Structure 1
């Protein structure tokens, strides 16, 4: 590894945490005297690490409070006083379970009176509806069967006029021929002509009357149908029925019920006080989440889907599993919706879901979260300062070799892997369980002798 790159990596800001899960990194702190070469000798307390496979975790540490993913505020718009309250804060309830009952004694009287008014209205409406229906059906039947009185009269008048016209026409035509031979007088001819014209006029009027009767008969059916539909609409949309339905809905709503299954976390209802406004808060305790805030320098590391270790003060060291579900694409906003620039600390709202419900976790608890950015299992790790870079640009550590009293520090080339705030993953030849690595490479030198000194605590 390039020397400048390693040094830069070793000097990065410390903002994450190591969690050892598969094994424990045992740091033995020994006092030894190192002979530093030439005529120079010095006694120094040198700490070292005994290698053992472990798990390295890079995490972003944040905090927040536990809340429900589904919070329902229970309101009422009714002004009746609260008669009885069935629940207390902390009670578990099922969806639809009664939380309180309003006093509906006056409402029940109103319902009885309105029902009486409605029933009377229904009776009148039923009579009117049946009458309009009968008229419509009769009118339609008469029209379809050709039994409409006005239409029949018009048809009879037309037939009579047609017969008269035929007779008068024949008489006139016969008189015209007879007049040529002097069989009839001019007066008789003129009279037959006048009779023929009058019969023609009467026939035309009768034909027009029949057409008008047909139109009127069809219109009568439409009018009767419209009257029936109007009566039916009035029957179904009776204002008295609407008023009764509203009162009965108020009666049902006067029993205040839980909108969801969960825990009652607030009770604002008071017996004897008006029941309008906010009465209860019910929250789903099975689906919990934590809203936290990630600093600007960690925002690019945190992604949805990352696992989270969660602890609370109440549960001490017990771990609960969580997962990042959302990180805001923009920093925290002010009340008017603009980015908050008044604070030099820029933060991004982040939501973490608790994966499995647990009775120990309560809504409102403060929680400490380790958002796992990177994790490696079954690796060797040493303190940051145990790794250095030699003149060839190689990453090295110093290993203690030999027995007590004749120990030496040997430079060993290693590969550097994952790095946390405090520990660095190393691999390479010569590394094995139980190998002792000097914690501070700057204080060691190849070939230096070491002998045990007083143990440090």
Structure 2
């Protein structure tokens, strides 16, 4: 019984020693990354949308039924090319009606012109009649003067007894008759003057009537031009060269024009030259300048980085849920036609760069032999240039295979590395960024005891 108990205790002891030995007998393998020489760029990050440089929405200026559509999505078009057409029947009828009304107005203008000519002749006749009346009045005046002289002679003769009373009476009667004829001729002249005034007034009325008729002709001509213009507008034409990127109309559809015209087509000018409309936070917009280099990626080509430059920083703010952003236009050359309108772009705008420097991988700041992270301020640090240097400790692999601390001073940083401003590190020197454990098989007297 004692022998059995001793045997059990010995087995237990051997198993415990083997387990302990297996736990302590571990070899550590460090993961390293080298100190590199390169540049660290200070960038502003934002998102934006890829857009064509020039995009035009095409709508109808008229209401009516769509008779035909000549283009489809992705079709190239030239400026002035027909892309759709409204039913033209009612507009053609309006043109014919306006043309007929114009003919009536033109005929009325001709009638008024003839009336003006007649009024001119009436004025000329009235002036001629006045001249005739003046001549007749002059003749009557001459006859009256002669009769008056004859009466004076008879009076002289009557005083001397050489003329009879009858002759004297006849001379007086002729004088009175001549005076009446002269007064009548004067009144006739006045009547002719009034007739001239009436004729001239009628002529002025005829002139006003013909001006009115000509104005009506011009009005009817304008109505005809408007009707013909509307008839021409029944054919929708491309305003620019480009490509159809949106079509929202089909034959038979009715278009109703209101205060806000419905977009029927959208045409992008040249897809080989695109723009990114980035939304820049108000905290970052102060560092942007025209001409700065920008890089961006799109979800369709995540491994491809596109390059552009800042073209415009718009001063109009956009406020969404109390977040203020400013639209910045980035050029986006697209010779391979990979970028399409509406794609979401992840932007990185280079505000400044350090030039050629030594830089330390950011993972090196998070390593500690005891497993604790150091310099939590380095984790996920944004790339914000700072004039003040910060201190940190990184670890290299010593000659005995153990971690050796190295004190360094740091400058600006980006997502992957930080500028080395002071320290004993050299280019390509490996720094510990992590640790990997590999357990060796453990045993006692050649027998494997670990599990």
**Superposition TM-score, scaled by structure 1 size:** 0.63
CA contact (8 A) 2:317 2:327 kept: no
Matched, 1:372 2:372: no
The within-5 A match list for 1:427-438 is 434=427, 436=429
CA contact (8 A) 2:42 2:351 kept: yes
- Over 3 Å counting, the alpha-carbon distance change for 1:437 and 1:215 in structure 2 is farther
Matched, 1:211 2:193: yes
Match of 2:68 among 76, 84, 103: 84
The residue that corresponds to 1:201 in the other structure is 183
Match of 1:314 among 300, 311, 326: 300
CA distance in 1, matches of 2:182, 2:255: 85
Matched, 1:242 2:223: yes
CA distance in 1, matches of 2:124, 2:59: 64
CA RMSD of aligned residues (A): 4.8
SS at the partner of 2:339?
Answer: coil
Matched, 1:71 2:56: yes
CA contact (8 A) 1:266 1:282 kept: yes
Matched, 1:349 2:326: yes
CA shift, 1:373, in A, is 1.6
The residue that corresponds to 1:17 in the other structure is none
- Over 3 Å counting, the alpha-carbon distance change for 1:254 and 1:437 in structure 2 is same
CA shift, 1:121, in A, is 5.6
Match of 1:263 among 243, 248, 251: 243
CA shift, 1:311, in A, is 1.6
**Superposition TM-score, scaled by structure 2 size:** 0.63
CA distance in 1, matches of 2:172, 2:333: 116
CA distance in 1, matches of 2:255, 2:56: 21
CA distance in 1, matches of 2:224, 2:102: 13
CA shift, 1:161, in A, is 0.9
SS at the partner of 1:88?
Answer: coil
The within-5 A match list for 1:31-180 is 50-52=35-37, 54-68=38-52, 69-75=54-60, 77-80=62-65, 82-104=66-88, 106-107=89-90, 111=93, 115=96, 127-137=107-117, 140=120, 142=121, 148-172=124-148, 175-176=151-152, 179=155
CA shift, 1:198, in A, is 2.9
CA shift, 1:369, in A, is 0.7
CA contact (8 A) 1:262 1:285 kept: yes
CA distance in 1, matches of 2:193, 2:114: 26
User: What 5-or-longer segments of structure 2 have no aligned partner?
Assistant: 1-27, 366-374, 376-387, 438-451
The residue that corresponds to 1:225 in the other structure is 207
SS at the partner of 1:230?
Answer: helix
CA distance in 1, matches of 2:124, 2:137: 20
SS at the partner of 1:161?
Answer: helix
CA contact (8 A) 2:46 2:347 kept: yes
User: What 5-or-longer segments of structure 1 have no aligned partner?
Assistant: 1-42, 334-339, 441-452
CA distance in 1, matches of 2:215, 2:333: 56
CA contact (8 A) 2:296 2:306 kept: yes
SS at the partner of 2:333?
Answer: coil
- Over 3 Å counting, the alpha-carbon distance change for 1:72 and 1:47 in structure 2 is same
The within-5 A match list for 1:287-436 is 288-316=274-302, 317-332=304-319, 340-341=321-322, 346-358=323-335, 359-382=337-360, 420=414, 425=419, 434=427, 436=429
CA shift, 1:132, in A, is 3.7
